Every structure is written in C-alpha cells, then in structure tokens.
Amino acid sequence: MCMRRTLSMPVLVLAIVFATLVSGPSARAQMSLASEATTHEAAPSSPQIWVLPAQGPPGTLVLVQGTGFDPLTEIGIDFDSTQVASTSTDKNGAFGNGVVTATGATFTDLQVLGNAVPGQHTITAWEPRGQKSAEKSFLVQTDWPQFGFDVGHTGFNRYENVVNNTNVQNLVLDWTFATGAPVYGDPAVVGGVVYFTSNNYPDAGLFALNATTGALLWKNTNGTGTRTPPTVVNGVVYIGQEQPNGGVYAFNAATGEPLWQYTSMNGAGGAVIADGVLYVGANENLVALNANTGKFLWSFGNNEAVQTPAIANGVLYFNSIVFVYPDTYINTLYALDISSRKLLWQHVWTGGGALINPPVVVDNAVYFHSYAFDATNGRVLWNSYFDSIPAVAGGTVYVGSGNSVEALDVNTGTELWSYATGNAVSSSPAVADGVMYIESEDGNLYAFDTASYQTLLWQCKISNGLASAATVANGLVYIGSQDGNLYAFHLPNMEKAAQGSPAILNKK
C-alpha cells in the first residue's frame, strides 16, 4: 500500500553574434575592438563571471565569460568541485568575451556533468596561480515539457538521473491534488512547476502546481475541460481544447494569464512546436500557427480529423481520420516536409475503427498503429500488434497490448518479453534512467527494469482507473487518474528544495 498525504486545491547577456548576422571580416573586427574597449573600461576591481544559459539538463553546453582577473593568467573552471574547462585571460584580465571575430568566437564553454542531479549547482572560475575566483549558480533540471517528452513523442527522458532501476522500488506516494474531474492529459513538468489538464466543466481545465509540494499556483478553466496534455515552451503553456470552445489557447506559464487564442477550428488536439511555429491537429485539418501570436500561417487537409503531430528532421508526421457512412473509417498517416509543405509519403488504412494515437518518431523510424515505417520513404519495416502509443529507448519498443505490457525489438518487432496485468494496457509508457513506467486499467502503476527482461521492480495500486501516462522529471513520478487526482511519487531519501524548485537528493 502506498502512503500519502492529500492537499487541497546586473545579468550580462553574452554577445554571441554569429557570422551570418555580420556582413564581413572588417565588420566583425570592428565589433570585437568595440567590445574589448567596453570590457576594459567597465572591468571591475574584483572578478565576476556570467553564464549562459543559467539552467538546463545534465550535459548542457554553457558559455562562460569573466572580468576582473589578473592579466594573462590561467583560469580553471569548475562545475561544483570538478574541473570541466580551462582558459586564460587577456591583457585586461578578461576571458570569454563572447564576441565573434574574424578567427571565430572567443567565448569559453563547459559541459554540465551528466550525473548532475536536479537542483542548484555552482560554476566557479579560479586562478591556479593567484588568489582570485568568482562563481555563479546553475540550476540543473530534468524537465518533461510535453506529451511524449519531445517533439518525436519518444516517451524517453534521457536526462533523468535520480529515480533509477536500483532505487525505484523505494518510491512512495508523496502528495495528491484533487481536481474534481478526470485527469486524462499527461502532465508536463518545467521549471519546478507541473502543468496538467482535467476534464468536465466547471471544476476542470488547466492547472499549475508546485512540482515539489503539490501546492496550487494557478488554474484556468477557460469554459470547459480537456483531455489534451499541455505543451510548455519558452515560458508559455499551450493546450488544445475540445468543444464547446474548441481551439488552441496560450497562457503565461508563470501566472496563467491568457496570452492568445485561436478558435477558428472545430476542436483541437495536442500541439508541438519547432522554430517558433506551433502545429496542432484539428477536426478539419492540420494547422500551423505563429507560437508567439497565434496568427494563422497555413493548413493541410480537407475535412480530416487530424491527431497530434510529431516532428523529426524537418518533417511533420501525423494521422488523420475520415468517417465514411455508415460504419467505415479511412485512416491516413502523412509525412509532410515542413519547409516546402510537400507530401513525402502516406500510408492508408481502410475499414476498422478510428486510429486516434499519434505517431512516434525515433532514429529515422515512425511507429504507428502496430507498424514501423522508414521515416524517409514510408517503407514498412515491420508489423506487430499493440494498442498503446509506444515508447522507444535503448533499442526497445515498449507498448501495451491487450492486457499485457510488451517489449519489442526495435529492428524487427519481435517480442522480447511480455507481462500480464489485471486489465487492459492502453496508455503510453514512459522511460527514464533504466526504468519503464506504464499504467494498467487494473489501477496499478508498474515499473520495469529496462536492462533485465520482464523484471518488475515496483508497482502501486492507485485507483480503479488510471487515465494519463506517467511523467518522470527531477526525481518525481507523476500520473493522473479518472478519480480526479494527480498523484506524485518520490524517494524517501529526497530532500525538498525551495518552493518552486525541483527536489534534490539529500547528500548528507
């Protein structure tokens, strides 16, 4: 049995100017000289450093610059207590001024350690032969920003490094949050906040909770509930809305303030974003909108109910459904080049039911409706039977099939192992740090070892009807239920960080 408690409702921007933005070497040289003069005049008496970005997942490439150090001296750069880079200062005691010169960029870079756990860390620049040093904080986060983790819907959080196959059996229920309506949409976790949707007006809509404590930050009912999971990008939350107020809505992620809405469509599904463009499926076609303003850009389709698209290598993959009276459905999987809007290939199914799951795209393969296709030309690679949206990680395709969880070989579709649960398995799996999570309609959330075939590591009875897929981020596991609750699990040895920040491992 899982125990639980219940809750009620002056930074300097690095001037990295790429060569495409400057017309020639002379202009770049002038820019470099101007910057060096400014740096020299403004150099502080004590050392300072700046980092860009100031937060990100393990492995993030960080640009560093500093001033106020001794001239022409060596500089070591540490991430926490580990040296990860070195450089030297110029005659003004500065390094990494970030200016593009005729010979290239002069910024200093480092890579965040791959095993850095979520929470605040320190980047330090220091003189091995002197006394001067300076430091800045860097926030490590292993966020899950949208359905399926990424725009390909792989279901694999490649950054998560807290809950793994050696400690997942210690997960306990940390908190629950009651919405008053079923929670169907998979949660998104970004910047210490968990965003999710629930169905049925008036008690439902879009919610934002402190991801560590479960405290309500804001909610927006917007006139109706929704089953669509949110997408959170660049401080904005996007959701698709069904009837009666169908369309796409954008909210300020920090405050919940409505930013824009596009309702010139008959219902909307999940959204994906690439290069400032939001792509969403609607009941008539695929729609492309400006992600900042909601302005209509273009559409594709003709009275086809388009499901949530996926993106890989500049191509949109999406399926559409056409109902043919009295009881026939035509389902079509499309591959559409984004830049030219040219149809690259399509695959059509006639007869049977409506195929509502979105495609998954990984390593030049598209997984949809029990098929694996070559993403380039649509050639069928293999065919197997499964009900759920797959997750793909480490050479394995994880699916729900009937009342079982199955693992398939990514190259052949051959079954590697299966595990029978007490009821249907139709939700999408989630994979993170050697663990595959999946729910069953028997009310259990299961965790399997991805390195050991058919090894069940942990399960927890939550309710009689789970609704969403699991989300794994920053050392917590979240899942929604038809009983109207969002559930959050954590490890008992986790220390809670400050409100609004991810949880971190207790290193004591």
Domains 19-140 and 156-493 belong to one CATH topology? no
Report yes or no: 299 and 283 within 8 Å, Cβ to Cβ.
no
Report yes or no: 119 and 162 within 8 Å, Cβ to Cβ.
no
- Which CATH architecture fits 156-493? 7 Propeller (2.130)
> Consecutive 10-residue runs of the chain (508 residues): their mean pLDDT?
42 33 30 36 72 94 92 93 91 74 59 94 93 95 96 96 95 93 90 89 78 94 70 94 76 94 80 94 88 95 84 95 83 95 94 84 94 96 90 94 92 94 89 95 93 90 80 96 92 57 35
pLDDT of residue 179: 87
Tell the residue number behind the tokens 């996007």, with chain if given.
238
CA distances from 238 to 247, 436, 472 (A): 11, 27, 20
Residue 69, amino acid: F
pLDDT of residue 30: 30
In the sheet with 247-252, reading across from the earlier edge strand, the strands are: 231-233, 236-241, 247-252, 258-262
pLDDT of residue 97: 64
Give the residue among 155, 8, 127, 25 at the shortest CA–CA distance from 69. Answer: 127
CA distances from 466 to 8, 212, 438, 447 (A): 20, 21, 10, 15
C-alpha 385/C-alpha 382 separation (Å) is 10
CA distances from 476 to 104, 192, 346, 363, 490 (A): 42, 11, 39, 28, 5
Reported CATH class of domain 19-140 = mainly beta
Cα–chain-centroid distance for residue 413? 26
Domain ranges for the chain: 19-140, 156-493
C-alpha 486/C-alpha 503 separation (Å) is 18
CA distances from 132 to 71, 73, 88, 97, 233 (A): 11, 11, 13, 18, 38
Whole-model pTM: value is 0.86
C-alpha 205/C-alpha 198 separation (Å) is 5
Tell the residue number behind the tokens 């309702």, with chain if given.
263
pLDDT of residue 12: 33
CA distances from 53 to 62, 65, 316, 319, 359 (A): 6, 12, 29, 36, 32
Tally of CB atoms within 10 A around 63: 17
Residue 48 makes CB contacts below 8 A (sequence gap 6+) with 66, 67, 68, 134
